[in-house]
């Protein structure tokens, strides 16, 4: 098997990767801030992280993944205050939606989903360590800040020129612009609105709450240890969030915080970064309403390398819908066939070699998808010829299973809707009756009704088969 290599944002180079202990990858992935349902721009990052997780497991490594849920920050407090609810009342339904969206998109569950509010004591302990190490101080506003000037390595990840930072200038808000590279808040003194919505805790510095950056460091090191194998997230988090995580973690421990930093690029809509504030947001709920399957979105996302920007368009989604339909048709045929031949065995071997090499080369999913479609084409051609070798068929099924286990782009042929299934069967029976009575106009009407519901039918010697395509 080829060497597994990843692009490390810290060194700006593709490097060989293996877990430090040779067996288990300690992976931290920045999760959502749960004040609003995550949009598709967020889910491009979560799908990249799912691809990373599956790629690591393909290599035979175990993965211990932490995906945090930020359930206290400026945005959450503002929204809770506007609605007159507690932060818990605001965030609980959003967390449920997030998990449901992940399940729909077949994103594998992480081993840990810590909520920031459950790790307040660990965050306080981390601030105390920083204070005792001389890199944190309490300011006039009663908040505790990290002194960037006391950490000479600051800016290493983002290549920030720290000479441009105004010494002693402070940034208290959680979400700040890149030009505001100044001392950042570790612990924020409580305001009346924080107290009103349950976002304040006792601490050695008085009532307050954690800063956004502090949360991830405390949760990551508590669960995974002081040095992670991989820390992943969207490219927009590189600065200031990940830069600040490195500073506070390494200033506390004296150890590297993460061996590899991996970042996924933006999802664009009409050439603009997808973000809630610009109003061009699409959600998983929107996709489901439009009948776009999880397989189609996964194909769409993985058809572009995770380190390249991706533009969302109806045409691109339609192309992915058609692509996964072809994959699904082939999957059905692969299950029906009873034997293969030498050409099929060769196609299977080629798929495993080429797709594994692609996925091992910085998760090159577009190349792996290309290899999969070459396999589909070659296998269909082999099936059209005479085959009498069951072992060749077994090799083809196994190769297809291994690669799809990473990409997961076979559409779900089943349906959880028993009512829909019953309706489809009744329509097919009505169509059969109409055809037997030579009422072809009625038979065509039934087919159209099925198509309007996203159901495709196929007449075969064994009867009429149907599948849900939209």
Q: Which two tokens stand for residue 232?
A: 């992943």
Inter-residue contact 8 to 211 (CB < 8 Å)? no
Mean predicted lDDT score pLDDT of the chain: 92
Q: Determine the average pLDDT of the residues in 28-57.
A: 97
CA gap 412, 401 in Å, rounded: 14
342 pLDDT tier (thresholds 50, 70, 90):
very high
24 pLDDT tier (thresholds 50, 70, 90):
very high
Inter-residue contact 392 to 344 (CB < 8 Å)? yes
pLDDT at 423: 84
Inter-residue contact 208 to 189 (CB < 8 Å)? yes
The one-character DSSP state at 241 is I
Inter-residue contact 94 to 80 (CB < 8 Å)? no
pLDDT digits (tens, 9 = 90+) for 419-444: 677 788 888 888 988 888 888 888 88
Q: Which two tokens stand for residue 336?
A: 């029906």
416 pLDDT tier (thresholds 50, 70, 90):
very low
CA gap 275, 257 in Å, rounded: 29
What residue ranges define each of the domains in the chain, with the CATH number in brackets?
5-277 (3.40.50.620), 291-407 (1.10.730.10), 418-468 (no CATH)
Q: Is the pLDDT of residue 265 over 80?
A: yes
Q: Determine the average pLDDT of the residues in 13-38.
A: 97
pLDDT digits (tens, 9 = 90+) for 191-207: 999 999 999 999 999 99
Q: How far is CA 392 from CA 33, 201, 387, in A?
A: 49, 64, 9
Q: What pairs with residue 340 in β-bridges?
A: 389
Q: Which two tokens stand for residue 175?
A: 């979400």
**Count helices and strands in the chain by DSSP H and E runs:** 15, 16
Question: What is the percent of the chain where pLDDT is above 90?
Answer: 76
Q: For residue 388, report the phi and psi dihedrals to the nearest 5 degrees.
A: -140, 15
Higher pLDDT, 182 or 258: 258
Q: Determine the average pLDDT of the residues in 89-112.
A: 97
pLDDT digits (tens, 9 = 90+) for 156-171: 999 987 766 766 678 8
227 pLDDT tier (thresholds 50, 70, 90):
very high
Q: Is the pLDDT of residue 181 over 70?
A: no
pLDDT at 108: 97
Nearest to 144 by CA among 204, 199, 186: 186
Give a three-class secondary structure readout of 187-224: EEECCHHHHHCCCCECCCCCCEEECHHHHHHHHHHHHH
CA gap 317, 299 in Å, rounded: 9
Q: Find where tokens 């570790």 sit.
A: 186
Q: Determine the average pLDDT of the residues in 112-134.
A: 98
pLDDT at 275: 64
Q: Determine the average pLDDT of the residues in 401-417.
A: 82
Q: Determine the average pLDDT of the residues in 164-188.
A: 75
pLDDT digits (tens, 9 = 90+) for 295-305: 999 999 999 99
Nearest to 363 by CA among 86, 71, 63, 47: 47
pLDDT at 415: 44
pLDDT at 157: 96
Q: Is the pLDDT of residue 306 over 80?
A: yes
CA gap 108, 51 in Å, rounded: 9
pLDDT digits (tens, 9 = 90+) for 329-341: 999 999 999 999 9
Higher pLDDT, 381 or 161: 381
Q: Is the pLDDT of residue 90 over 70?
A: yes
Q: Is the pLDDT of residue 276 over 60?
A: no
**Per-residue b/e over 133-170, b at no fewer than 16 CB within 10 Å?**
eebbbbeeeebbbbbbebbeebbbbbebeeeebeeeeb
pLDDT at 280: 56
Q: For residue 192, report the phi and psi dihedrals to the nearest 5 degrees.
A: -55, -40
358 pLDDT tier (thresholds 50, 70, 90):
very high
Q: Is the pLDDT of residue 277 over 70?
A: no
Q: Is the pLDDT of residue 57 over 70?
A: yes
Q: Determine the average pLDDT of the residues in 11-26.
A: 98
291 pLDDT tier (thresholds 50, 70, 90):
confident
The model's pTM? 0.87
Nearest to 73 by CA among 245, 211, 241, 236: 211
């Amino acid at each position: 098997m080829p060497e597994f290599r990843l692009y490390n944002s810290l060194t700006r180079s593709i490097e060989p990767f293996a877990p430090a202990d040779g067996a288990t990858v300690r992976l931290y992935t920045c999760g959502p801030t749960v004040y609003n349902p995550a949009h598709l721009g967020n889910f491009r990052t979560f799908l990249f992280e799912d691809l990373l997780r599956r790629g690591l497991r393909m290599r035979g490594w175990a993965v211990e993944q932490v995906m945090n849920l930020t359930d206290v920050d400026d945005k959450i407090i503002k929204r809770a205050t506007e609605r007159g609810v507690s932060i818990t009342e605001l965030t609980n339904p959003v967390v449920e939606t997030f998990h449901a969206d992940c399940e729909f998109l077949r994103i594998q569950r992480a081993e840990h989903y810590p909520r920031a509010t459950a790790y307040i004591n660990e965050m306080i302990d981390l601030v105390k360590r920083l204070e005792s190490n001389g890199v944190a101080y309490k300011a006039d506003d009663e908040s505790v800040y990290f002194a960037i000037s006391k950490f000479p390595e600051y800016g290493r990840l983002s290549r920030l020129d720290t000479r441009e930072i105004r010494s002693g200038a402070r940034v208290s808000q959680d979400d700040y612009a890149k030009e505001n590279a100044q001392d950042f808040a570790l612990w924020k003194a409580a305001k009346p609105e924080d107290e009103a919505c349950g976002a304040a805790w006792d601490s050695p510095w008085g009532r307050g709450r954690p800063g956004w950056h502090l949360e991830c460091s405390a949760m990551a090191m508590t669960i995974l240890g002081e040095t992670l194998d991989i820390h992943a997230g969207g490219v927009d988090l590189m600065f200031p969030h990940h830069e600040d995580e490195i500073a506070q973690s390494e200033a506390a421990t004296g150890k590297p915080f993460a061996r590899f930093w991996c970042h996924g690029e933006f999802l664009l809509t009409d050439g603009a970064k997808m973000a809630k504030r610009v109003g061009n947001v699409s959600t998983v709920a929107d996709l489901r309403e439009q009948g776009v399957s999880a397989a189609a979105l996964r194909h769409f996302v993985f058809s572009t390398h995770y380190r390249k920007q991706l533009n969302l368009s109806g045409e691109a989604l339609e192309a992915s819908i058609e692509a996964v339909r072809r994959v699904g048709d082939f999957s059905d045929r692969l299950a029906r066939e009873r034997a293969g031949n030498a050409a099929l065995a060769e196609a299977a071997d080629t798929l495993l070699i080429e797709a594994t090499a692609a996925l091992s080369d910085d998760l090159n999913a577009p190349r792996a998808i290309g290899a999969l479609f070459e396999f589909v084409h070659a296998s269909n051609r082999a099936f059209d010829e005479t085959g009498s070798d069951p072992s060749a068929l077994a090799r083809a099924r196994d190769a297809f299973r291994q690669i799809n286990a990473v990409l997961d782009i076979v559409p779900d042929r089943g349906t959880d809707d028993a009512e829909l299934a019953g309706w489809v069967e009744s329509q097919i029976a009505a169509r059969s009756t109409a055809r037997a009575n030579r009422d072809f106009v009625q038979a065509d009407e039934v087919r159209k009704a099925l198509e309007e519901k996203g159901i495709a039918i196929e007449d075969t010697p064994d009867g009429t088969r149907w599948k849900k395509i939209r």
